[in-house]
Chain A
Amino acid sequence: MAKLDPNATVKVSMRKVADNRPEKIKKLERKMKRKSGEKKLNRSVAGNTLLFLLMGICGVFMVLPLVMIVNNALKPLDEIYQFPPRIFVRNPSLTNFSDLFVLMNESWVPFSRYVLNTIIITLGGMVGHVVVASLAAYPLAKNKFPGKKLLFSMVVLSLMFSWTVTQIPQYLIISWLGINNTYLALVLPAWSFGMGLYLMKQFMEQLPDSLMESARLQGANEWIIFWKIVMPNVRPAWLTLAIFQFQQMWGNTGGMFLRSEELKPLQYALQQITSGGVSRAGAGAAVTFIIAAIPIAFFLICQSSILETMTTSGMKD
């Protein structure tokens, strides 16, 4: 980025001063002005067609599970067990969902409690991680201090160690801290996941140093720089991280860290319902739908608000 950008901008501005440029460049500039806005430069029709065709074919395969989840949720029981199986539903009905709500009302712990647990765990784990990991990523990306390289490479290396075998030591530490069987047992470890820090650090690295320098000259401290300058400029990064973390926390069933029934998340309760076997296959399809639908809704909200940051803030190195 640094290699190309500064030279290029200098060249353009110099040309603007003395307008005796070759005709070719003038033409190109006019073309660019005409096309500016949504249209992109350097695009051929043949290339577009080829790429979009490729996307279409692959897209059908990729979206298959979504299509099946939606259709299964709408299938009455006899269609779910129909042979040969069909992908698309023929007589859509909402009986699966009404069956599910009947089962929910029968549960020993009120269902709203499971929902509350999930909200606390998912939001706590997500917001906390995004804030804590970004706070740590900023100095690692932009400041120089002793131990920087060591700390960062430890985080990257930790991503490569299989979590299966670290679970037991982790359980021992959580018990030792006395937070076993509380929300904290799920939320606190989630704050320190390695991937989030790595992601944030990579994006912050791209911010031009001049941005921080000028804020420092105006008397801003690191805390203010972080919230007012760094975070708004890496919006696509933390929205993406929020998606990852939401998915991660949403899929958590509590496992061995939550033993009390009234602390368990929704995911666990829903899985209990589907473990009822054949007679619950209908409700099970509705459960699969709900489990997928919530992260998808969150995903769409985040993805559509990832706007082009650099162009809107209009900064240059």
Chain B
Amino acid sequence: MSSTTAGRATRVRGYSLRHEIWKNRASYMLMAPYFILFFMFTVVPVLMSIYLSFTYFNMLEAPRLIGWTNYVKLILEDDIFTISLRNTLLFAVITGPISYMLCLLFAWIINEFKPKVRALLTLVFYAPSICGNAYMVWNLILTGDRYGYLNGILLKLDLINNPILWMQTEKYVMPVLIIVQLWLSLGTGFLAFIAGLQTIDKGMYEAAAIDGVKNRWQELWYVTLPAMRPQLLFGAVMQITQSFAVADISIWLAGNPSVNYSGATIVTHLLDYGSTRLDMGYASAIATILFLLMVGTNQLVQRLLRRVGE
């Protein structure tokens, strides 16, 4: 008796699901081109990489399944991974929130200007991100001999007696990389915020002024931020993907491997195995762990952002 009821329920549910899909066929049609390509070029490669993380794969022979070996080695035996994990978390905890706030702050200030001026100011702040490898500028500033800009200034001011080898001295590597990363912060999230601020209805500010909002800070918290919540969520995800994946600046400025691995991050470690040692299985295991780390952080951050404007 109960089984037939259950059977009928599934049949009904099956029917209504098919009905729902048919009813929304227009939506599926609109999404089809994107998602067919997305599955082909993103979902399948990601799944293949996760599979590879359980194999030994040197890109010459066929991958050979080895179970959890890569992960066990990574967590228990790989000292450099421990260092790079620590550095990555340091990057994420420091540069993540600060960069995010900077993006928001500058987008909000720039929004006060007229469109043409705004475009120019946006360019000024977005400049480090648009110039491709603009961080090369820092190579000139940080050159280790007395001709580097920074050493030159410090010598002239008599603050140091000998030029400092900035990127070859362990204790300076991380602070310098963090500063450069902060300098690069106004990227994707920043432009998204600029665009988001343009879509806020001006009538809301007038209404808020009548309702007793007194200054710009209250206006920001009670009107602007809640109105751009979708952009805030987007910015947070982009910030996470950026702060956890720091690699280029470390490789360009400190080298890979850097002095005593002082500038190693999870992604430099991954690149070391993926492109230098050609151990794609191990590299994929690193990528999977990084992925889980980002997903976890994202859950946490999204929960925090729900409280904006309360």
Contacts and interface: CB of A to CB of B under 8 A. Distances in A.
Interface in B196-222: 196, 198-211, 213-216, 218-219, 222
A57 to B, nearest CB: 12
Contacts of B128: 62, 65
Contact of A303 (B41, B123, B201): B123
Give the size range of B's interface with the partner: 35 or more
B192 A5 contact: no
Contact of A194 (B42, B196, B208): B42
Contacts of A63: 124, 127
Contacts of A165: 49, 52, 270, 274, 280, 283-284, 287
Interface string A179-207: 00000000011011011011100110110
Interface stretch (A103-111, A112-120, A239-247): A239-247
A52 B203 CA distance: 25
Given A192-B37, A291-B132, A222 B44 contact: no
A199 B45 contact: no
Contacts of A38: 114
A197 B70 CA distance: 34
Q: Which residue among A172, A198, A199 has the maximum number of chain B CB atoms within 10 Å of its CB?
A: A199
A170 B295 contact: no
Given A43-B216, A192-B40, A296-B123, A222 B30 contact: yes
A164 B285 CA distance: 12
Interface string A147-185: 000010011111111101111111011000100000000
A316 interface: yes
A292 B136 CA distance: 13
A278 interface: no
Nearest to A63: B124
A135 interface: yes
A62 B183 contact: yes
Given A4-B208, A169-B45, A160 B134 contact: no
B195 A306 contact: yes
Nearest to A131: B33
Nearest to A239: B195
Given A47-B215, A135-B31, A226-B30, A300 B123 contact: yes
Nearest to B135: A65
Interface stretch (B1-9, B19-27, B74-82): B19-27
A58 B30 CA distance: 43
Given A146-B20, A222-B26, A299 B126 contact: yes
Interface string B216-238: 10110011001101110110011
Contacts of B30: 135-136, 138-139, 222-223, 226
Contacts of A135: 30-31, 33-34
A101 to B, nearest CB: 22
A9 B207 contact: yes
A132 B130 contact: no
Interface string A24-51: 0100110010000010111110010001
B48 interface: yes
B127 A28 contact: no
B147 A42 contact: no
A5 B204 contact: yes
B188 interface: yes
Nearest to A41: B209
A206 B52 contact: no
A263 interface: no
Contact of B183 (A40, A61, A132, A223): A61
B196 to A, nearest CB: 7
| A159, A165, A240: residue with the most chain B Cβ atoms closer than 10 Å | A165
Contacts of A316: 201, 203
A285 B85 CA distance: 37
Given A135-B34, A162-B287, A307-B115, A84 B230 contact: no
Contacts of A244: 188, 191
Given A85-B149, A191-B34, A303 B119 contact: yes
A140 B27 CA distance: 8
A254 interface: no
Interface string B244-269: 11000000000000000000000100
Contact of B49 (A140, A166, A307): A166
A260 interface: no
A166 B230 contact: no
Contacts of A308: 198-199, 202
B125 interface: yes
A84 B52 CA distance: 51
Contacts of B177: none
Given A47-B215, A55-B109, A195-B238, A32 B115 contact: no
23 contacts: A1-B204, A11-B207, A12-B210, A29-B210, A47-B215, A55-B106, A59-B124, A65-B127, A66-B124, A136-B35, A143-B24, A143-B27, A165-B284, A169-B49, A191-B33, A202-B231, A203-B199, A223-B26, A223-B30, A240-B191, A300-B120, A303-B122, A308-B199
Sort A-B residue pairs by CB-CB distance and give the 5 closest, nearest first: A8-B207, A139-B27, A136-B34, A192-B37, A202-B230
